[in-house]
Structure 1
Amino acid sequence: MNTRPDEAMEQRVHQIACERSNATESSLAADARQQKLIVYSSAPVKSKGVSGSAVAPVSTHVRYRPVSRGYVQALEGQIASLEKFITKLITVDSNERDLLLRNFSSSSNHLHVDSVASAEATEASTSEIPIRSRTGHLRKLKDGKAAEFYGPTSFFQISPSQDPASYVDESLVESELIPGSASLDDFATVGDSSSAFSPQSDICRKLMARFFQHQYQYLMCLYREWFLRDFDAGAGPYYSDLLMYSICALGAIASEEIALRDLSSVFFNRAQELLYGGALESPNLTTLQALILLGHREIGIGKASRGWLFSGMAFRLAHEMGLHLDPSNWTGSDDSRIEREILRRTYWAAFVADKQLSLYFGRPPALYPAESDVRDTERIPYPPEWASLLNTYIMQGTSETAYEDGLALVAGWVHQVELCKILHRMITEVFENRSGKTDETVLSTSAKEIHVALTKWSSDLPSKLHWNQWTVGHVPSLVLHLHMQYHAAMIILHRPPRHMFRDPKVTTSQDVTNCYSSLESLIKLLGIYSRQHSYSHLPFTFVHILATAASAILMKRYIEKSLWSDAEFSRPINLVIGALDSIAKTWPCAKQVRGVISSAISGSTDESAQIESPQSFDLMTSLTGADYSSMNQDLEFEMDDVNIGTFMPDAFFGDGYQWDDSFDLDPASVDLFNFENPMP
């Protein structure tokens, strides 16, 4: 009998595929039945005690939220992706099968070994949008002594432009963007001897109160209650002047009053003076917490390099202090329950900041879940003097349980951490440059699994954190921001490569459908937020959310070849522009995205030009030759200061794209870098 050597293997793979599909479908059906269950219990429950008497009914009418349609569809897509992967295992030879299986780990979902897809596999997968995780941009100073990399998840992906030689960064500015901000020299006499800006001064207490009222929920790197306890006592392990000045710098920058906003640099300079004056020589927990806050501020005002370094120091300190290991690991430790929980809180704050910055810049993360066993944070009892501290330092007349009566901040923070765990997978498994040669089927399967994880995260949110398009009434700002992050992540995950925008199949692809669905939800969230809350209280990462929304709007317009004047595009883009204008008062880095959108809209003068994608609409080219003196009067920046290189695979340029003749760009002014070759 003539049988192929791999026939037994194929039969076994087919059997596993059927068993896995049946098990997944059965699990999905059981999950749906459980979620849709309505429990009615009116009969008394018999006690098994001595008396044998009946007790009151346990519960009546307990309703569970049904499984969301998006989660069901995500599971169906994951099943289809797994079946396709298993089918591919059958069609390839034994050597490539070994590579594929080695590259795919269902337990860790991590891609280990690079492999190259066969020609047959490539042809079979053309019905899906290929994943291009290796595109990126390099901002390099002309003197050749500095460079900045921005990867595929960064806000540089806002543009539908495809020209690889047209990325000239005119708006990423390494200079202070806050008008009228004071320098350290202007306040050289301000120190501990001056009561005007001492930690116990009225202005410091006012800015600290604003931070805890409006910003703390997004930056929970410290334990508010115990920080205030030690501040009130004048000393303690959870307070330092460095941390206090860092808090004041953030509280000032989010102020609506210009005079207070200008003080942000004063407190930042004082914090920096303490940081380099000795805090880094013997760092403690408050040093790490201050670095997270200072890094957040610096990136938001346009000092991206310094902010990135501050944040990196915080992540390194987390490892140095052993925060990546749960405090319960240490035998013989006399740490109290409170101290252990504060250590956990600090680690998870660093973890969240790491993922947000990695997504913002498109760079590899520093903290990996596999290296940590830290438990989820939980709320610990308030200190005995909490009621007095609350009324003295945050807000008069506030109930002792004010922050637990409605939405519990710690519960919101726990789900923020869970979302960032999924974002870590998205960054490392789909967009990490080192997996650029991984088989497309494996990448697609990983993307599907991450999509399922995101939809499950959303469907599992508790009722106080839940939101959908039919939610009415007042919604807490934390809830709105949490869902904005979720939908921005969905857009980034499913956003097609820009060179695919001209493919007719892209319009009907599931990836584009997912992008449009999340864009619609994101626009509704922005509308609700603008009516109910102030943009100035949001973290600077909100700018990345707006840039992601703008990229989806411009992608949709490009694919559908619509006009700028169409209400379907003008209304959402105007909403994004309005949000950018508002947040730019707090975080000037928003001016970068705002200027790009304005240039793209004003650059088209006739209807025929508007129908085509504006080739000048690119974050790095759109401001070339434009007059932006009215927008960024305080920018000390020259166009000749920087060059941009791009990281793109050869396949990106394989479709014979012709450059637009309207471009007048000197090739000598742009350095292109091959990803495979290191930078000089």
Structure 2
Amino acid sequence: MSLQPSPQGSLLFHGPTSMYHRDVSLQNAQETTNTGPHAGPKLWHSLGVPQNVHIEDGLVNKALSLFFLYQYPQFMFIYREAFLEDYYENAHQGKYWSYPLLYAVCALGLRASPDAKIREKGDVVYRIAENIILLKALDSPHVTVVQSLLCLAFYELGAGNHSKGWVLAGMAFRMGQDLGFQQDPQFLVSQDSTIASHQDLVIRRRVYYGLYVSDKIISLYLGRPVMLYEEEAAVDLPEALPDFPPLHDWYGLNELTESELGHLGGTVLMPSFEGLIELSKIAEEMLFKVFSTKMVKKPQRDLVLSRSSRLEELSVRLGRWHANLPNHLKWNQWNTTSESLKPHVLILHLLYHSILISLNRHFVRPTSGFAANAGSKETCIASADTIIALIRQFRFQQGLGHSPVLVVYSAVMASSAIFFTQDPTTPTMEKDRRLSFILKALEECSQTHNLAKEACIKLQANIDARNSAIAEKLALETTTNAGVFQQPEYTEAPFMGWVDGTMFDLGAFDLGVSGSLDPMAFRGIGADPSQWLLGSIGSTTEPALIDGSLSNEPWIDFPSTMSNGDYSTTHGYGPQRRDTTEQ
């Protein structure tokens, strides 16, 4: 492997199969010194950015304060102290800040403002950052360009522009690989003079793992394959870097100095970041070994057994991860509301419970390719309740107007769990307070994330469609009880999925599997759906029909959508509904 200068002066990574690969021992150290036009702010000055783009210092300070107060734990690929030192003092000669990165960060911060006029300025600042990056920076790879692209990606995803966000994130991941971030920097020191200190080493590691975590969040978010695999990198975990000293003035960012959130430094935030890294590794395995597109080519029997086995393995890993959290990262819903729920703790537990729901909801009842699991229903219910409790506490203490985009994702996942686990034809579901709270939470998040507005509209449409189905069912029962028999019409059940019938991803906001809720589908196996309850995971026998009428290939005969009977009992994996306290 080697780093070699591009025509623009960037040092680019080439592995052993590259046509550009050369023996590092034969290279001149001077040749691999990173001295391209991107090094420092010279490139941006040469483009006239400071002269042509002027944003008031007060607005920049406001934006930076909001970003580092509320969004920073999800953007740990930026080292706050180095970024601020470099921007305000040029302490690192432009190594850790640039105009496009500054504007991308400011755009995210301004969108979190309670002032509508300031939020609108966030869109303007975003367009400036986007234009600089896409028109001038793509041929000059640099750490700040990677960071900028990822900030732009999350901005677009929060705005509901899924395709654009997906592409921008992919550009960030690819540029990171272009610069060799997948290789631990200790092996590149002799080739890259910009890796001059221990801080430089740690920041590169931090950027890589920030990319890795973001890749998994976005893949979960959209239900798509990951791009960065754990096995394809050899990067040591980052460690905490020094915070500003206690009496530091934070360059006049008063909101940071006055808030306890502003003083959360590396010793507090890095364990949370490490927790996100471990969760991301589990999510990667789940996406690859449970929901991989290639798996559908397996014979149905092998597919169902493989997924059931992976469910148990991943449930154990998730349970172990949760049990091993350090005390300062644990959360208990019975804590008093006076105990502040910090953003880094919030996103850690929201992601954990979202992954639990993603993993378990397809196992609530048997469907094509999935066997029912005894504990999946309780796990989904408990995780949905916990997500709601987390959002409720954060809303009470901080408000949702500046919440991370993960709040939107987890709220949608919680509503998904509710629809998956409840009988949609039961009248008592009509006024589910949990769904009402989720609607309210999404509405409040929508001032920052347009994505939340879209989710709110689709969730309300889904609830309305379900309520209409309930009303029709009650009317039919009333007619039947009056002695007038009427053959029921079985149509597509809108309450089993979004009204457009799409499969789940956060972009489509699907809550379930679309299909016909037709009891006649059970003809030939008996009208009682409970006959289809499958054996518990870990049983020494194969899953079978309870009445013993096991066919040669029962998996092939599964209807695509089952009725909504209760298929589950409690098992030991994941949280239990009777006690969602997180110990």
**Does the alignment reach a TM-score above 0.5?**
yes
Q: Is the 8 A contact 1:595 1:623 kept in 2?
A: no
Q: Is the 8 A contact 2:358 2:413 kept in 1?
A: yes
Other-structure match for 1:228: 84
Amino acid at match of 1:204: V
SS of 2:450's partner is: coil
Question: Residue 350 of structure 2: which of 454, 478, 484 is its match?
Answer: 484
Question: Residue 311 of structure 2: which of 447, 450, 456 is its match?
Answer: 447
SS of 1:500's partner is: coil
Q: Where do 1:145-294 residues align within 5 Å?
A: 192-193=50-51, 196-197=54-55, 201-234=57-90, 235-294=93-152
Q: Measure the CA separation in 1 of the matches of 2:305 and 2:468.
A: 43
Distance of aligned partners of 1:455 and 1:256 in 2 relative to their CA distance in 1, 3 Å threshold: same
Q: Measure the CA separation in 1 of the matches of 2:309 and 2:274.
A: 27
Q: Measure the CA separation in 1 of the matches of 2:260 and 2:199.
A: 19
Q: Measure the CA separation in 2 of the matches of 1:501 and 1:526.
A: 31
Q: Is the 8 A contact 2:76 2:210 kept in 1?
A: yes
Other-structure match for 1:572: 434
Q: Report Cα offsets for 1:565-589 as digits up to 9, x if no partner.
A: 566xx11111111111011111111
Amino acid at match of 2:133: L
Distance of aligned partners of 1:397 and 1:522 in 2 relative to their CA distance in 1, 3 Å threshold: closer
Other-structure match for 2:154: 296
SS of 1:453's partner is: helix
Other-structure match for 2:396: 531
Other-structure match for 1:457: 321
Q: Measure the CA separation in 1 of the matches of 2:239 and 2:266.
A: 17
Other-structure match for 2:18: none
Amino acid at match of 1:542: V
Other-structure match for 2:551: none
Q: Measure the CA separation in 2 of the matches of 1:401 and 1:600.
A: 37
Q: Is the 8 A contact 1:599 1:622 kept in 2?
A: no
Other-structure match for 1:616: 494
Q: Is the 8 A contact 2:154 2:165 kept in 1?
A: yes
SS of 1:461's partner is: coil
Distance of aligned partners of 1:610 and 1:555 in 2 relative to their CA distance in 1, 3 Å threshold: farther
Other-structure match for 2:207: 346
Other-structure match for 1:13: none
Q: Measure the CA separation in 2 of the matches of 1:429 and 1:605.
A: 38
Amino acid at match of 1:296: F
Distance of aligned partners of 1:658 and 1:580 in 2 relative to their CA distance in 1, 3 Å threshold: closer
Amino acid at match of 1:621: V
Q: Report Cα offsets for 1:438-492 as digits up to 9, x if no partner.
A: 4232332222111111111110001100113433342323213311211111111
Other-structure match for 1:635: none
Offset, 1:524: 2.1
Whether 1:544 aligns to 2:443 is no
- Highest RCO, 1 vs 2 (Cα 8 Å, sep ≥ 6): 1
TM-score (norm 1): 0.59
SS of 1:283's partner is: coil
Amino acid at match of 2:349: H
Q: Is the 8 A contact 2:367 2:561 kept in 1?
A: no
Whether 1:357 aligns to 2:213 is no
Offset, 1:493: 0.6
Whether 1:372 aligns to 2:233 is yes
Q: Is the 8 A contact 1:211 1:248 kept in 2?
A: yes
Aligned length: 440
Q: Is the 8 A contact 1:564 1:610 kept in 2?
A: no
Q: Measure the CA separation in 1 of the matches of 2:216 and 2:378.
A: 26
Q: Measure the CA separation in 2 of the matches of 1:262 and 1:337.
A: 40
Amino acid at match of 2:360: H
Question: Aligned residues: percent identity?
Answer: 28
Deviates more, 1:533-542 or 1:206-215: 533-542
Q: Report Cα offsets for 1:109-135 as digits up to 9, x if no partner.
A: xxxxxxxxxxxxxxxxxxxxxxxxxxx
Offset, 1:658: 10
Question: Residue 320 of structure 1: which of 174, 178, 184 is its match?
Answer: 178
Q: Report Cα offsets for 1:396-423 as digits up to 9, x if no partner.
A: 7559996358981122111111111111
Distance of aligned partners of 1:280 and 1:387 in 2 relative to their CA distance in 1, 3 Å threshold: farther
Poorly superposed stretches of 4+, deviation over 6 Å: 399-402, 610-614
Q: Is the 8 A contact 1:390 1:398 kept in 2?
A: no
Offset, 1:525: 1.9
Other-structure match for 1:66: none
Offset, 1:519: 2.1
Structure 1: tracts of 5 or more residues without a match: 1-189, 625-645, 660-680
Other-structure match for 2:458: 596
TM-score (norm 2): 0.68
Distance of aligned partners of 1:532 and 1:420 in 2 relative to their CA distance in 1, 3 Å threshold: same
Whether 1:493 aligns to 2:359 is yes
Amino acid at match of 2:329: L
Q: Is the 8 A contact 1:391 1:397 kept in 2?
A: no
SS of 1:325's partner is: coil
Offset, 1:194: 5.7
Distance of aligned partners of 1:427 and 1:339 in 2 relative to their CA distance in 1, 3 Å threshold: same
Structure 2: tracts of 5 or more residues without a match: 1-47, 475-489, 503-513, 516-553, 563-583
Offset, 1:191: 6.2
Distance of aligned partners of 1:383 and 1:616 in 2 relative to their CA distance in 1, 3 Å threshold: closer
Q: Is the 8 A contact 1:208 1:247 kept in 2?
A: yes
Q: Measure the CA separation in 2 of the matches of 1:613 and 1:477.
A: 44
Other-structure match for 1:62: none
Supply the RMSD in Å over aligned alpha carbons.
3.5
Q: Report Cα offsets for 1:336-381 as digits up to 9, x if no partner.
A: 1000111011111111110001001111000000011211121122
SS of 2:290's partner is: helix
Q: Is the 8 A contact 1:249 1:265 kept in 2?
A: yes
Distance of aligned partners of 1:306 and 1:211 in 2 relative to their CA distance in 1, 3 Å threshold: same
Amino acid at match of 1:369: E
Q: Measure the CA separation in 1 of the matches of 2:561 and 2:154.
A: 41
Amino acid at match of 1:543: V
Q: Measure the CA separation in 2 of the matches of 1:613 and 1:472.
A: 47
Q: Report Cα offsets for 1:153-182 as digits up to 9, x if no partner.
A: xxxxxxxxxxxxxxxxxxxxxxxxxxxxxx
Distance of aligned partners of 1:576 and 1:383 in 2 relative to their CA distance in 1, 3 Å threshold: closer
Q: Measure the CA separation in 2 of the matches of 1:414 and 1:657.
A: 40
Whether 1:416 aligns to 2:276 is yes
Distance of aligned partners of 1:312 and 1:610 in 2 relative to their CA distance in 1, 3 Å threshold: farther
Q: Is the 8 A contact 1:499 1:652 kept in 2?
A: no
Deviates more, 1:429-438 or 1:244-253: 429-438
Distance of aligned partners of 1:247 and 1:618 in 2 relative to their CA distance in 1, 3 Å threshold: farther
Offset, 1:217: 1.6
Amino acid at match of 1:615: A
